[in-house]
Amino acid sequence: MSKITFLGAGSTVFAKNVLGDCLLTPALQGYEIALFDIDHQRLQDSANMLNNIKKTSGSTSIIKAYTDRKEALSGAKFVVNAIQVGGYDPCTITDFEIPKKYGLRQTIADTVGIGGIFRNLRTIPVMLDFAADVREVCPDALFLNYTNPMAVLTNVMNTYGGVRTVGLCHSVQTCVPELFKHLEIDQTGVKAKIAGINHMAWLLEVSKDGVDLYPEIKKRAAEKQKEKHKDMVRYEMMLKFGHYITESSEHNAEYHPYFIKRNYPELVDRFNIPLDEYPRRCVDQISRWKQMREDLVNDANLTHERSHEYASYIFEAIETDVPFKIGGNVMNTGLITNLPREAVVEVPCLVDRNGVTPTYVGDLPPQLAALNRTNINTQLLTIEAAITGKREHIYHAAMLDPHTSAELSMDDIIAMCDEMIEAHGKWLPEYK
């Protein structure tokens, strides 16, 4: 019996999408779906939810919850990772409140920036523990990472974990549909090419019947910018740098030095930037969980429709040898030639029985590569800090971050990092 192991299975809604998709996939019938989470109540909730879908879908897969991680991983052919280390309370609160004391405001704080750096530092040790287990009990498994910060964690698993890892983010497959819907353009028959880094990949080409659609897209986007909407940062970046970005405006507002600025407070209002957006989402989700739990876990008639998440399609392509194209996060083995080879890049990949094969992109337009490199700098120094245990590299990562360095002095950045390390306490290893 083949086996799919889901780490972080207490993420019940996400488990419904990824594993519910697997239960509906003909090529994956008869699989064991192995669930693991350190929160045993949420683990059982997810198991109950998936058994409800199994019953209504007629799936022949077996749902099994594990409290021992190594047992959950043993013999797995595929592993899906969706953990969050430290949760909302205390770690996300710390990621937002301490920087705010220094005048540094954030929106999501899960990729780069101070929040992203410290989310990485507390997650990397756990991921390396996963890697050790994978090497021991399922060394040939394909590891699909959905956890943010995507680029750094995927890099660490490949470079230091010795595990065949691909990072997946749904911003690639939603990029064109959401853009075209907002601009009221028919997307039927549209061809698109996307590449860059996670959360800052670029819509490099977009055409229909051989006609470049960018002139029309930019014309309509310029009109949209005359009134407030939720995607103003991405439109502004496209109009200034020439290309649309895959990830949302609330994310990209904090990846660049242009939008969240104490000396220009009007920019936050002008570009409709939702400061403290992620903590609000967390509080909202916590408040809604009781009803969501009732709807998902206790509904014996729960059904599911296959989502746009890549995981089940990847497993299906490998099992059937029917090719499927994804946007995947992989090591830059010369795929994007003007980005560092030691970085993780997000590029089109072909999936079949051979696994996940990335495609060659070549040079990005120079201004786009330059923007990517500003974020890659912080990513690579964060990895250096985690692997060496040297506190100075945490400072380097923060001082190189575009938003942080635009707002704070070097002394304030170092003081803030020290306070963050102290506040995280046991959630971090010791840094010397």
- CA nearest to 99, candidates 376, 432, 401: 401
* 91 assigned ligand-binding residue: no
- CA nearest to 327, candidates 143, 200, 169: 169
The backbone region for 199, taken as left when phi is positive above 0, alpha when psi lies in -120 to 50, beta otherwise, is left
Compute the average pLDDT of residues 186-210.
Answer: 98
Compute the average pLDDT of residues 107-129.
Answer: 98
Residue 22 has pLDDT above 90, yes or no: yes
Pairing assessment for the beta strands 142-145 and 78-81 based on DSSP bridges: parallel
Lowest mean pLDDT among 213-227, 290-304, 382-396: 290-304
Query: Could you give the 3-state DSSP secondary structure of residue 314?
Result: helix
Question: pLDDT by residue (tens digit) across 333-345?
Answer: 999 999 999 999 9
* 375 assigned ligand-binding residue: no
Q: What is the pLDDT of residue 319?
A: 98
Backbone angles phi, psi at 142, to 5 degrees: -90, 125
Question: pLDDT by residue (tens digit) across 170-192?
Answer: 999 999 999 999 999 999 999 99
Compute the average pLDDT of residues 340-367.
Answer: 98
- Helix or strand run (H / E) with residue 171: helix 171-183
* 182 assigned ligand-binding residue: no
Confidence bin at 222 (pLDDT 50/70/90): very high
Q: What is the DSSP letter of 198?
A: T
Residue 100 has pLDDT above 90, yes or no: yes
The reply to whether omega before 90 is within 30° of 0 (cis) is: yes
Compute the average pLDDT of residues 224-245.
Answer: 98
> DSSP readout, 89-103?
IIIIHHHHHHHHHTT
Q: Which of 40, 170, 182, 243 is catalytic?
A: 170
- Does the active-site annotation cover 251? no
- The pair of structure tokens assigned to 174 is 């939603």
Compute the average pLDDT of residues 280-303.
Answer: 94
Count helices and strands (H / E) in the chain. Answer: 17, 12
Residue 230 has pLDDT above 90, yes or no: yes
- The pair of structure tokens assigned to 325 is 């194209």
Count of alpha carbons within 13 Å of 377, Cβ hemisphere only?
19
Average pLDDT, the chain: 97
Contact yes or no for 224/235 (Cβ under 8 A): yes
Contact yes or no for 70/137 (Cβ under 8 A): yes
- The pair of structure tokens assigned to 389 is 């245990």
Q: What domains can be seen in the chain, in order of their start residue?
A: 87-108+169-275+323-432 (3.90.1820.10)
Q: What is the pLDDT of residue 340?
A: 98
pTM (2 d.p.) = 0.98
Q: What is the pLDDT of residue 1?
A: 78
